[in-house]
């Protein structure tokens, strides 16, 4: 089989922890504020970071909605819900004794949950640095490319090339992020320009012992915050 997967138990525990941490500020906000809970919205472009010799970068995009707590303070807390589409290109994958894959593109559509602090510097236009934890929940993923399987038949060996484009199952992943950006006040809103790097801690798939897939990617983001 092309993919081998690890147990989801550790990932599930991490997701429960993230959700548990997020529930406390959600409950507090619900008690103290009656206005619309979400106050930040962003669009993003992402670029996957190659993680082995046969990897090449892939590009994707995303959209997110957030709630920033303690927005007038130097230290904020940011809770976010996002959709991210990320891709990765592999020019070669060894997947077994008789099987290889060439020119493989993996695309993952993820629902992402993030939570972390944001440290602000400045009085009007503000520079900020943020970090935290996140989880990418894979909703749907696809694989396209060429499978190359050599099948022994008697004294001969048949090696057909098969073009594939199919749904595949990728594991959920969780990790840490770090980023920086600007908050620029414009009338009753703030323009937010930022960048971050997401570092996935667990593999989303294992093709073979020598070929492990991680989700690790840079993002450029543009958004607004409603005051």
Q: What is the pLDDT of residues 101-114, one digit of tens each?
A: 777 788 899 999 99
| Per-residue pLDDT reduced to its tens digit, 63-105 | 999 998 887 889 999 999 999 999 888 776 666 666 677 777 8
% of residues, the chain, pLDDT over 70: 69
**Residue 117 has what pLDDT?**
96
**Residue 82 has what pLDDT?**
95
**Residue 47 has what pLDDT?**
93
Structure tokens belonging to residue 25: 């500020």
**Residue 14 has what pLDDT?**
53
Structure tokens belonging to residue 109: 């559509």
Q: Which of 2-11, 51-60, 146-155, 196-205 has the highest mean pLDDT?
A: 196-205
Residue 5 has pLDDT above 60, yes or no: no
**Residue 8 has what pLDDT?**
46
The arithmetic mean of pLDDT across residues 192-197, rounded, is: 96
Phi and psi for 89 in degrees, rounded to 5?
A: -110, 135
Mean pLDDT, the chain, whole residue set: 79
Residue 49 has pLDDT above 70, yes or no: yes
**Of 3-12, 118-127, 167-176, which gets the smallest average pLDDT?**
3-12
Give Cα 183 distance to the centre of its chain.
23
Q: Which of 196, 198, 204 is nearest to 220 (CA)?
A: 196
Residue 44 has pLDDT above 90, yes or no: yes
* Domain layout of the chain by residue ranges: 9-27+40-88+108-142+169-226
Query: How many C-beta atoms surround the C-beta of residue 203 within 10 A?
Result: 18
**Residue 153 has what pLDDT?**
59
**Domain 9-27+40-88+108-142+169-226, CATH number (from 3.20.10.10, 3.40.50.180, 2.40.160.20, 2.40.10.10):** 2.40.160.20
Q: In 3-state terms, what secondary structure has residue 95?
A: coil
**Residue 13 has what pLDDT?**
55
Residue 178 has pLDDT above 80, yes or no: yes
Q: In this predicted model, which residue has the larger pLDDT, 25 or 164?
A: 164
Residue 187 has pLDDT above 90, yes or no: no
Query: How many C-beta atoms surround the C-beta of residue 168 within 10 A?
Result: 17
**Residue 55 has what pLDDT?**
63
């Amino acid at each position: 089989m092309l993919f081998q997967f690890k147990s989801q138990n550790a990932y599930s525990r991490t997701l429960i922890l993230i959700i548990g941490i997020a529930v406390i500020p959600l409950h507090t906000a619900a008690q103290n504020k009656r206005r619309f809970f979400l106050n930040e919205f962003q669009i993003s472009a992402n670029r996957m970071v190659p993680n082995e010799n046969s990897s090449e970068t892939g590009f994707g995009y995303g959209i997110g909605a957030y709630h920033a707590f303690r927005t007038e303070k130097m230290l904020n807390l940011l809770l976010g819900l996002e959709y991210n589409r990320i891709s990765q290109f592999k020019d070669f994958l060894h997947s077994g004794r008789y099987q290889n894959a060439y020119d493989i593109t993996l695309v993952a559509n993820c629902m992402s949950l993030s939570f972390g602090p944001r440290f602000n510097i400045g009085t009007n236009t503000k520079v900020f640095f943020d970090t935290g934890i996140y989880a990418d929940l894979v909703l749907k993923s696809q694989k396209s490319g060429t499978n190359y399987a050599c099948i022994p038949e008697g004294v001969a060996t048949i090696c057909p090339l098969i073009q594939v484009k199919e749904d595949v199952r990728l594991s959920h992943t969780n990790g840490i992020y770090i980023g920086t950006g600007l908050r620029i006040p414009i009338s009753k809103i703030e323009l937010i320009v930022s960048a971050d790097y997401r570092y996935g801690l667990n593999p989303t798939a294992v093709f073979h012992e020598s070929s492990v897939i991680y989700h690790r990617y840079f993002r450029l983001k543009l958004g607004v915050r409603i005051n």
